[in-house]
Structure formats: structure tokens, C-alpha cells
Homo-oligomer: A and B are copies of this chain.
Amino acid sequence: MAVYTEVTDDALAAFLTEFDIGEMVAFRGIAEGVENSNYSLKTTRGDFILTLYEKRVNVAELPWFIGLMEHLAQNGITCPLPVRALDGSALQHLSGRTAAITTFLPGVWPRRVRVEHCGPLGEALAQLHLAGQSYPPERHNALGPEGWAPLLDKSIDGADDVNPGLGEELSAALPGILAAWPTDLPRGHIHADLFPDNVFFLGGKLSGLIDFYFAATDLLAYDVAVCLNAWCFEMDGSFNLTKGQALLAGYNRVRRMSAVEMAALPVLCQGAAIRFALTRLYDWVNTPPGALVTRKDPMDYVRRLRFHLHATSGADYGG
């Protein structure tokens, strides 16, 4: 669920006077999303999304995210376009939070990924990488490789409660991944969280990308590895090579990965898997029972990690 901060109707009415987007028609909380509070906002001018940034977002970094979305939208990526208030800034204040209004994107995220989704997803990811090249400011990826050992330290005491031996398994895998981590691959702005619930489709076509709040400047091929993890595994934990082929072919149609990037896919996929296993484990261990957050099972990504530890080349992913 994704409404942590309630917005009173008076506060909302006052907030809307700061924008030139028409009169309010409706306002409902959106169930999707876990990091921020999101509302669907309808005005006499159309549909918008109102986001209130919650505790995990560093307010000082919001201008970077807003600037990236504006840049991407202006460079052909269908993503939410922040709406500037009358004072010229997209970032405003509402109910004790920093808040922004963005445009509404049509489409539905795929609850069940099919092969046909993976090609357009790969293309869109590559388009995002190319469009991002002309956005100069950088953002350090706090959830990149050097963040993983500290995450493990903060979660390891509860790891065996999630699954016996899990702490040992992650501790054994991490050093090898970090030692083999590539440093010389092409860098740029990555989405870093392009899961199916952040990608809309409409009429069989990809209609938009959302939720850029994990975006950062990092290895482009790492973003491909995140998507291979998020889009190409079946519910039973098996890797669907046909989906991997479609995803990589789609990506390569727009931005061709080098042989070096392709060869690095096994370790990049290991890194992506351990990153999501670790944040899920951290949340699992640190979420009080009864909290309103869906705890996601870290083991989904531990099983992916085991697959990736046996991969030896890009061909294992359909490359």
C-alpha cells in the first residue's frame, strides 16, 4: 500500500492554488508503490499523480530525480513529467512532506510477464540509457556494490530466521561478486528498479516507465542485469531463456551491448540478485510485525543468485 501521509482536503485545495492545472475533481490514494505516498488526482484539465516523498527519499536529491524525468520526457521517453508550480519549481510542500505533481501515464503494468513484454522492455531500457547521456548531473548509487556489505551487516542477525543458512550463504557469495565486479564498462544514468510494476503497456505496446526514485549513475549493463532478474524468471524460480533472448535482443536493437558488457552479465546479474535479496532481507528483519508494508520474500532473489552463480557467459542469458 502506498499512502503513508494523509492529505486533508483543505491542505490539498490550498496546494492546488500553487499550480495552474485547473480545479479539483477527484483525489484517491493509489495502492501500488511502497516508498512514497501516491495519489491519483483528477482536475478539470485532466489526470495527474501527486507524490509525497516519504522518509527513505533524501529530499536533497529530489531535484536530481525531477531534472532527470524532465530531461527524459523532453528526449522521447514516456515517463511522468513533473508539473512546475506557479513559482517555477516542481517541488513543493504539502502535509509536512516535499511533494510533486506529475503527468498521468496511460497503461497497465503486466501482472504476468509474457515473452512479448520483454522485447519492448529491453528497447525502452536502452532508449532510457541513450536519452540519459545528455543529462550531465550524476547521482551516486547508494545501493550499488559498496552498499551491499553494510546492508548485509545490518541484516545478518535476522537472516537465519528468514531461512536457515541464509546469512552464511550471502556472506559466502558477496566477496566473490565484489572481487569480480567490473569497473570499466560504459556508465550512465540507470533506472535501477525497472520491475514490471514500473512499466505500463497499452494495446500490446509499452506505454510508459515510472518511479525513477532509485535512478543513479552506474554501469548501464547493470540495469540490464536488474531487468533480467525482474522480468525473465518464472514463479518457480526457473530462468526463461526465451524471455532473456527477447529482452537482450530488444536492448541491442537500440543500444548494442559490447562483448565485454555481455561477458560481464553473470557477475552483474549476481550483483543485482544480491542487491534485491539484501534490501528485502533488511526490510524483513527491520519491519515491525503489523507494519503496513508488504514484506517481500528475500528468498526469491537468493534463488536467482544461485542460478547466476552457475552462469558463465552472456549466452546463459540469451545473449
* Residues of A in contact with B (beta carbons under 8 Å apart): 1-3, 6-10, 12, 23-32, 40, 42, 47, 104-112, 200-203, 289-292, 294-295
Contact = CB atoms under 8 A, between A and B. Distances in A.
Contact of A12 (B23, B105, B108): B108
Given A30-B29, A30-B30, A6 B106 contact: no
A9 B294 contact: no
Contacts of A42: 47, 106
Contacts of A200: 26
B106 A25 contact: yes
A26 B47 CA distance: 11
Interface SS of A by simple majority: loop
A8 B112 contact: yes
Nearest to A27: B108
A29 B32 CA distance: 6
A102 to B, nearest CB: 14
Contacts of A2: 31
A19 B106 CA distance: 20
Nearest to A200: B26
B107 A26 contact: yes
Nearest to A117: B9
A112 B292 contact: no
Contact of A9 (B12, B26, B110): B110
A158 to B, nearest CB: 14
A202 B42 CA distance: 12
Contact of A3 (B7, B9, B31, B289): B31
